[in-house]
Chain A
Amino acid sequence: MNTKNIMDAKGIERALTRIAHEIIEKNKGAEGMVILGIPTRGAYIAKRLKDILKSIEGVDLPVGAVDATLYRDDIGMKQEQPILKETDIPVSIDNRKIIIVDDVLFTGRTIRAAMNVIMDFGRPSSIQLAVLIDRGHKELPIRPDYIGKNVPTSMQEEVRVHLQEIDGIDEVVVEAE
């Protein structure tokens, strides 16, 4: 297997810092926002974004997790049931600006499912999407508002984000067969 390192710890930190600034710029501040990460790694990135936003803007935003498993469009099509992860939406999301955070954007189907989960919890004023890596091959009309890095890939490649909190190291690698 061929492995290529495309981002190191410093690169991830810089990308997230830039995304945080872009979020503040686009929304003219961070008031009324709720950050929701998609487990597993999106939830850790969401916490990091929250911390960066706090250090820049001084606001302590609510952060949570939204697991899209139960809303997937391939339940019953795969041989095995996908493992459930945690959904934790700590505040009412009515009339709040939601930032969905994920590590890698691929087909967009997880994001579609996550938006349906969020809509069942309330009526946010808007939903925006931040991803660390956009690897292309979208199958739905979904486009991120904030991108750490665009990484054109082939279908045979896998993009893996490793985070200190769970993998013991911060890096992004592309694996090819």
Chain B
Amino acid sequence: MRLKRKDILTIEDLAKDEIELILSTAQSFKEVSEREIKKVPTLRGRTIINLFYEASTRTRTSFEIAAKRMSADAINISASSSSVAKGETLKDTAKNLEAMNPDCIVLRHPSSGAPQVLAGFIKCSVINAGDGSHEHPSQALLDLLTVKEKLGRIDGLKIVIVGDISHSRVARSNIYGFTKLGAEVSVVAPPTMMPSGIASMGCNVKNRIEDAITDADVIMMLRIQLERHKVPLFPTVREYSRLFGLDRKKLGKAKKDIVILHPGPINRGVEIASDIADAPYSLILDQVKNGVAVRMALFYLLLGGSRE
């Protein structure tokens, strides 16, 4: 089994065996980050550009570290400090970057579908690092790796995703990813943050977190993306937190061996209580650790084959 793709744009596109190849490759890469010399020469001479049109700490750093541990040259561009601020279009920026002959562009963009558009008119590989409220494939892959590592499997698990589903590309990618690998996904959100037709993606829709988590194996909490809300979607943060935030009382309804995920950045005391974020069953920092391995695997699988 090999990955025969130019780009990683969505989890929706990926077949089950492609996801499994990426996960097993990432598992092998974890060990490289534990070495004293945390670097392998595999992608020497390859150039990777991180083109970020939105704020990011974790994802951008993770892609950059992954590229550097593979010996590729990583260049970071953020929209606020580049010619994008002078009014250049995505296409023009990409064409200009392509003229400098990179091997891969990692794109984060506020518009859903931007990476697909980009991949269509440049020859190098494109990795979607999050596009609008569409998908965030590397996040779903690292979530899958984290759960698989902790619980030993994905198939047959019950996953509950709670929060701002309508604005969450993480939720979308994870619904595709977990269901493709045989898990049962439920989503929980206030009606104002639950997109209509979400059930057609193959997940259960629930209204109360207490009902959803009773038989869950994994709870994934999402951040409230206030910056994407054009109109207020709930009365107060306090009310949201009381009804949909994960605290000790609600967690009492869950199984004893539950594990908690959160894609970060976390808002302590809003969607997740501080003590739960720091508890041993919280895998938040394992997710970050696995993120580097997953991104190394993506670079290896996209750039490790021949250029022809």
Contact = CB atoms under 8 A, between A and B. Distances in A.
Interface of A: 67, 70-71, 75-88, 116, 120-122
B301 interface: yes
Contact of A121 (B36, B306, B308): B36
Nearest to A86: B28
Contact of A71 (B2, B31, B41): B41
B2 A80 contact: yes
A75 B37 contact: no
A70 B41 contact: yes
Given A70-B32, A86-B28, A78 B306 contact: yes
B40 A81 contact: no
Contacts of A120: 35, 37, 39-40
A16 B26 CA distance: 34
Contacts of A70: 32, 40-42, 300
B303 A76 contact: yes
Contacts of B25: 83-84
Given A70-B32, A75-B42, A87-B31, A82 B37 contact: no
A116 to B, nearest CB: 8
Interface size of B as a range: 20 to 34
28 contacts: A67-B28, A70-B32, A70-B42, A71-B41, A75-B42, A75-B43, A75-B304, A76-B46, A76-B303, A76-B304, A76-B307, A78-B305, A78-B306, A79-B308, A81-B2, A82-B304, A83-B25, A84-B25, A84-B28, A84-B29, A84-B300, A87-B28, A87-B31, A88-B31, A120-B35, A121-B35, A121-B37, A122-B36
Question: Do most interface residues of chain B lie in helix, strand or loop, or is the interface mixed?
Answer: loop
Interface in B252-308: 300-301, 303-308
B212 to A, nearest CB: 37
Interface string B16-45: 000000001100110110011101111100
B41 A80 contact: no
Contacts of A80: 2, 4, 305
A109 to B, nearest CB: 14
Contacts of B32: 70
Contacts of B24: 84
Contact of B301 (A81, A87, A116): A81
Given A70-B300, A79-B305, 10 more contacts: A70-B41, A76-B46, A81-B2, A81-B3, A84-B25, A86-B31, A87-B28, A88-B31, A120-B40, A121-B36
A85 B35 contact: no
